[in-house]
A and B are shown apart, each in its own frame.
Chain A
Amino acid sequence: QKEVEQNSGPLSVPEGAIASLNCTYSDRGSQSFFWYRQYSGKSPELIMFIYSNGDKEDGRFTAQLNKASQYVSLLIRDSQPSDSATYLCAVATSGGSYIPTFGRGTSLIVHP
């Protein structure tokens, strides 16, 4: 049973701070890692993906992957109240079929 674990939160950070969201996974064969943002009552939106160990930056978002520790994280710099949402981590194997396993999500609250 492939598992993806996330702290459900809520994680509360002040506006302007760095929010750090974490995810661990059980399947060592995982090769693709994704972060989705889901606002309350809305559908998920893919905001970051990473395939290789290390950091990947896109605007205020940085995804970090450590395959040896089976750990992936998402950093949000200069957090804004509009970042308040549930952040879903998804992990998949690659190679033709794409079969993702999602975590339960971490609720992030950015307060002014």
Chain B
Amino acid sequence: ETGVTQSPTHLIKTRGQQVTLRCSSQSGHNTVSWYQQALGQGPQFIFQYYREEENGRGNFPPRFSGLQFPNYSSELNVNALELDDSALYLCASSPDPAPSTDTQYFGPGTRLTVL
């Protein structure tokens, strides 16, 4: 039990639609990072938020956007869904931007399927 939750667990959307994924971090964790993990691949870093500001972004187009709220919750929004967006989306929370063992925790993930 990591104390990081994500919703929904599974989601099916059609191409062109928009989706919002949610993450609830541990209390006191000022940093949340979002990752996309395709089957059989390592996670790909989407972006990181620190104290409600974007603090780094991976190689993802602007249709991937995020928000972090003062209550340690966050959102990943994806517009104009494409078939290749089908993946497991993970959030990870930590007190600081650079992770450390015993302080960075991943949520269980949201499995997104785009048809």
Pair A104/B58 contact, Cβ less than 8 Å: no
Bin chain B's interface residue count.
20 to 34
Among residues of B, the one whose C-beta sits closest to the C-beta of A4 is B42
Nearest-neighbour CB distance to chain A for B17, whole angstroms, equals 26
Do A104 and B44 form a contact, CB below 8 Å, given A94-B98, A97-B97? no
Q: CB of B72 within 8 A of chain A?
A: no
Q: CB of A80 within 8 A of chain B?
A: no
Pair A46/B42 contact, Cβ less than 8 Å: no
Do A46 and B40 form a contact, CB below 8 Å, given A98-B48, A99-B56? no
**Residues of chain A contacted by B92 (CB below 8 angstroms):** 44
**Stretch of B7-15, B75-83, B103-111 lying at the A interface:** B103-111
**Complex Cα distance A101/B41, Å?**
12
Which residues of B line the A interface, CB within 8 A?
A: 2, 33, 40-45, 48, 55-58, 90, 92, 97-101, 104, 106-109
